[in-house]
């Protein structure tokens, strides 16, 4: 194996000492760079661990809030069904339950050529669009319509 230009420089010569000193400085510089990289990686690791801990702390309450909202949704759907039955019983009319079953469906369109008269189409959203999470939380996507029987 050929050692290249360093083989021609004798170890005791001033040129050889200069090359050795340069190599020693280069090695020290490399060690310092590797040490800095290790410090940076350790700091990055600590930052990631901190962010992960924060995410875990936030996800717990978020999961509980989602579960609570799902429970409230089930309760509200039950209340809506009970109210629908009461409206049917009091008015002697039949409510369109297809709108109750499809979440996020558009309110039923009335057609003037139909035999039944649409009395009302009720929606639970206050303004049609919710701009804040609290407004969304208390809005309902359920719709129903009441039609009168024509004999």
Q: Write out pLDDT tens, residues 127-136.
A: 344 444 444 4
Nearest to 146 by CA among 86, 105, 68: 86
CA angle 53, 55, 58 (to 5 degrees): 110
Read off the pLDDT of residues 50-69 as tens digits, 9 standing for 90 and up.
999 998 888 888 889 999 99
pLDDT above 90 for 27: yes
8 Å CB contact between 141 and 99: no
Q: Is residue 142 exposed (0-12), middle (13-18) or buried (19+ Cβ within 10 Å)?
A: buried
Answer yes or no: are the C-beta atoms of 107 and 82 closer than 8 Å: no
pLDDT (mean) for 135-146: 50
How far is the first Cα of the chain from the last one, in angstroms, to the nearest whole number? 109
User: What pLDDT does 1 receive?
Assistant: 46
Mean pLDDT of 82-108: 75
């Amino acid at each position: 194996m050929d050692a290249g230009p360093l083989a021609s420089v004798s170890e005791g010569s001033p040129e050889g000492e200069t090359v050795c000193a340069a190599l020693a400085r280069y090695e020290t510089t490399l060690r310092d760079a590797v040490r800095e990289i290790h410090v940076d990686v350790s700091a990055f690791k600590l930052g990631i661990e901190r962010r992960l801990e924060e995410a875990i702390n936030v996800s717990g309450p978020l999961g509980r809030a989602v579960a609570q909202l799902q429970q409230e949704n089930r309760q509200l759907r039950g209340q809506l069904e009970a109210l629908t039955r009461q409206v049917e019983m009091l008015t002697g009319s039949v409510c369109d339950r297809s709108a109750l079953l499809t979440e996020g469906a558009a309110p039923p369109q009335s057609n003037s050529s139909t035999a039944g008269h649409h009395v009302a189409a009720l929606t639970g959203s206050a303004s049609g669009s919710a701009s804040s999470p609290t407004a969304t939380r208390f809005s309902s996507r359920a719709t129903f319509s009441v039609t009168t029987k024509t004999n």
